[in-house]
Structure 1
Amino acid sequence: MWAVYAAGSALFASLTAILAKIGIDGVNSNVATAVRTIFVLVMAWVLVGVTGNFSGIREISPRGWLFLALSGLATGASWLCYYRALQLGQVAKVVTIDKFSLVLTILLGALLLGEHLNLKTVLGALLVTAGTLVIAFA
């Protein structure tokens, strides 16, 4: 089932880029990011309400709060950079470099989480890196 959600994530990420590129025309990228964030926030809390998961808030440990907060700050920084890049560059090139996060995540997962790297993962990361360089800087 995770693959279905991952495919949905890819589809909606693609739509995010296209819709954002259209939406930021003539708008300050920081303002656009703030407006987008409002809609993400409302959607997330509506989903929590609809699924009846409000009690899950009490189950978050202090460590969980810390790392969710740090993740939120990283997301905000990513979105601010992403929207500014979309405003300045071609959507295909911006998204290609943005998706290089896959390679960075593989590396950080190995370094910080101790996740095992096998030959297929390393080869895939190298291919993604090559593809990123070809698309973004060709």
Structure 2
Amino acid sequence: MNSAFASWQFWALLSAAFAALTAIFAKVGVENVNSDFATLIRTAIILAVLGVIIAATRQFQPLGNISVKTWGFLTLSGLATGASWLCYFRALKLGNAAQVAPIDKLSVVLVAVFAVVFLGERLSGANWLGVVLIAAGAVLIGYKA
């Protein structure tokens, strides 16, 4: 396998690019439809695409082999994702994509804080400076003068 495809940095950058496209496509997509219904359509499409990927790559796992702890945390993650998407689409319906998306990306700051508090991860001084700069940048971009 190519080393780029095995790199978390490659996949994280690809994720950022797709997230940016998500904001643009969603802003246009929610223009003439209820934001919650738009989220339902988006979710159905994601489920269908993932179903095809799992089937094509034969990655399906027996559901009984998944631990209760894993089920619990994946359920919580799914609920948080759903809530995030509902809020994001509502914000896009009401605001400009160029302002909504940066505020949404304050999640990066919250992930860093939550990872330290709940997961016991450690961040260096340079890491914390980056967190502060991301927060400041998101607020500055999201601010409508």
TM-score, normalising length from structure 2?
0.91
Match of 1:103 in 2: 109
Tell me the residue number matched to 2:15.
9
Tell me what 1:77 maps to: 83
Instruction: Tell me which moved more, 46-55 or 69-78.
Output: 46-55
Query: How many residues were matched structurally?
Result: 138
- 1:56 is displaced (CA, Å) by 5.4
Deviation, structure 1 residue 79: 0.1
Partner of residue 120, structure 2: 114
Q: 2:75 is aligned with what amino acid?
A: A
Q: 2:27 maps to what in 1?
A: 21
Kindly provide the amino acid, as one letter, of the partner of residue 138 in structure 2: T
1:32 Cα deviation (Å)? 0.3
In structure 2, C-alpha distance between the alignment counterparts of 1:89 and 1:116, rounded to whole Å = 35
Cα deviations by residue, 1:104-133 (Å, 9 ceiling, x for unpaired): 000000000000021011000110111112
Shifted more, 41-50 versus 96-105: the winner is 41-50
- Show the counterpart of 1:47: 53
1:59 deviates by 3.2
Matched, 1:30 2:41: no
For the pair 1:64 / 2:62, whether they are aligned, the reply is no
Runs of 4+ in 1 over 2 A off after TM superposition: 55-59
Relative to 1, partners in 2 of residues 1:21 and 1:67: Cα closer, same or farther, differing over 3 Å? Answer: same
User: Quick one: distance in 2 between partners of 1:106 and 1:127?
Assistant: 13
- Cα deviations across residues 61-87 of structure 1 (Å, max 9, x unaligned)? 110011001000000000000000000
The whole-number CA distance in structure 1 between the counterparts of 2:84 and 2:118 is 20
Q: Which amino acid aligns with 2:18?
A: F
Question: Which structure has the highest helix share of the two?
Answer: 1
RMSD: 1.1
- Taking structure 1 as the reference length, the TM-score comes to 0.96
